[in-house]
Structure 1
Amino acid sequence: MAEELRGRRVAILATDGVEQVEYTQPRQAVEDAGAQVTLLSIHSGEIQAMNGDINKGDTFPVDRLVSEVSPDDFDALILPGGTVNPDGLRVNADAVRFVGDFVRSGKPVGSICHGPWTLVEADVVRGRTLTSFPSIRTDIRNAGGHVVDQEVATDNGLVTSRNPDDLPAFGAKLVEEFAEGRHPASAQA
């Protein structure tokens, strides 16, 4: 990839239990396009990634606490999945507030697999089209979102995918949408 994202600041919000490939591959995609990436979390130190729900993966150093930053500090946001990761984020008030404010700002957001759980908790899926892991689709519908079953769904800067099989398409669409920047039509009151 070229340098479509040179000068762009991308936040990845994750905690323990993040699906490793859903963190590393999107991060690599946006870094390869020139973005500066910051790993945000709800605790300092390192986060424990997983390969599936039961096999520990690598650990990754946290750059900043989500409680210490603002959506103004970043141009785009990635919410990786894993089952435990978004479940931990959606019960953290700082993470939910950050995600809600970020989406309402109109800046692009990418989320894969179980990642949309945090979007649901932040009440920012109403009227939006998303895809996700099958087990959380009812949650999205109950929160007012429209669910499709496809490799990548894009709705005014909101990019979603179903699972790790979709990562190549997800990464390419992240770069495209992040390069476009703010989507004012997606900003909610």
Structure 2
Amino acid sequence: MSRFIVSALPPAGLKLPSLKLVERRRFGDHRGFLSRLFCAEELAEAGWSKPIAQINHTMTARKGTVRGLHFQHPPHAEMKLVSCIRGEVWDVAVDLRADSPSFLAWHAEILSAENGKALLIPEGFAHGFQALTADAELLYCHSAAYAPEAEGGLSPVDPALAIAWPLEISEMSERDRAHPLIATGFVGVRL
């Protein structure tokens, strides 16, 4: 029996077919539960095709904080499996793939410790989130190690993206505030 339920996103309307929602099944009893965070064999069916190169753990202290929108340029482009292990976040992925029919489209999902959902974000997407609770913690599985020379980012408040953050933005890092707006002629990421 698979320990994951995988869905393409969003279920209706504009499709981002390579973005996947992973819902973890919990198996438990009076002692608690077991939930598998990662299984290469099962997630391969959802598009995860590489080994895990890095696992990162973040904690965002203040509700309303926005982090992102981050990505890495090829040849360091990465897939991410993003899971919330404490609190709740509104997790966003933006398609930056050149010539994609969903170029610059975004999709968001609520990830929480309670709902057990994760986003499987393919190469060529930017990622960010807003903390919906204080002390929100995320685990990220990355298919490529962080490469500072390949770092890219977009402004989370870029009017061209029109991301409808659910809360007033209470905090953003200087680095994220400095991400550029999408310029006319932006062609995206070529994988």
* Shorter-normalised TM range: under 0.3
Greater percentage in strand: 2
Greater percentage in helix: 1
Q: Name which structure has the greater RCO, CA cutoff 8 Å, separation 6+.
A: 2
In the superposition, the TM-score normalised over structure 1's length comes to 0.27
In the superposition, the TM-score normalised over structure 2's length comes to 0.27
